[in-house]
Amino acid sequence: MFEFIAQIKSRNETLYQFGWWCLIAAILFLVCSKYSSTQVYNVSAWYKPFKFALSTWAYAWTMAWFCHYLPDFNVRIFNWAVIILLGFEIVYIAVQAYRGQLSHYNTSTPLYSFLFSMMALAATAVTIYTAYIGILFCTNAFPQLPSYYLWSIRLAIFLFVIFSFEGFVMGSKLSHTIGGPDGGPGIPVLNWSTRFGDPRVPHFIGMHALQVVPLLSYFVLKNTKATFALALLYGALAVFTLVLALKGRSIIPAPKASTEQQLNDQ
């Protein structure tokens, strides 16, 4: 593990340092969730910045690792695009958590609408930049990389881009719940709905193909055909959870409510 971390630093120190700041922020946000009573949608307001900071840490270190392979790639511009755009998202989400306000889907004032639009624009820009990197991995030769590992990177970026853009399903509805209101019962921390459809599930699964597929391919499968099969099954899982969400069905149904609870809900 320490050797892996040292290699990330040697490959891209800028994203390495940014990743540490995101990880530290995620830990602080998680601590805040234990000691702050501020809630949004009936859960700690600090869970959201915690999740975003942790996810950004994983993205930063992953791309620091991948970009090292690219020939003639201006990594400095990419680094600062990631830091500015994703850093803005984390800061704004954290500020809104502190204030007990929504960050996403908040159009209650012109300022909040503008900042929500800026977050969507930031996420879109990073996704398009990542797609461009995926194209570079498809159009350049990498004789130093095993075929199965190279394909795992290509397929992982492909899945990441698709399910990053799947976030527009939520943005278009100004809601992360389908079939019911936001703020209902959900699983701990992630707060994915246990009663209704939740597009955050396929969004999460698909985006983290960026880490899962290459890691399994390189350390476990070590085979190109098996890597394609893994990516296909992983993508199918993300699509399956998206279909469930669009139908308004949860992937983790809540226990059947008692008659009294059902009457209260009505």
90 pLDDT more than 70: yes
Question: For position 258, what pLDDT does the model report?
Answer: 42
pLDDT value of position 259: 37
182-239 per-position pLDDT tens digit: 988 999 999 999 999 999 999 999 999 999 999 999 999 999 999 999 999 999 999 9
Report the alpha-carbon angle 13-125-208, nearest 5: 65
Provide the token pair at 59. Answer: 């993205």
Determine the average pLDDT of the residues in 115-130: 97
Say if CB 230 and CB 172 are below 8 A apart.
no
CA pair distance 93, 16, nearest whole angstrom:
22
Look at residue 163 in the predicted model and tell me its pLDDT. 97
Of 212, 60, 78, nearest to 133 by C-alpha is: 78
**How many Å apart are CA 208 and CA 67, to the nearest integer?**
17
CA 121 to chain centre: 15
- Give pLDDT, residue 266: 43
Residue 115 phi, psi dihedral angles, 5° rounding: -70, -35
Model confidence pLDDT, tens digit, residues 224-238? 999 999 999 999 999
Instruction: Quickly tell me which residue has 């498809």 as its tokens.
Output: 138
User: What span, in angstroms and rounded, lies between the C-alpha atoms of 192 and 251?
Assistant: 9
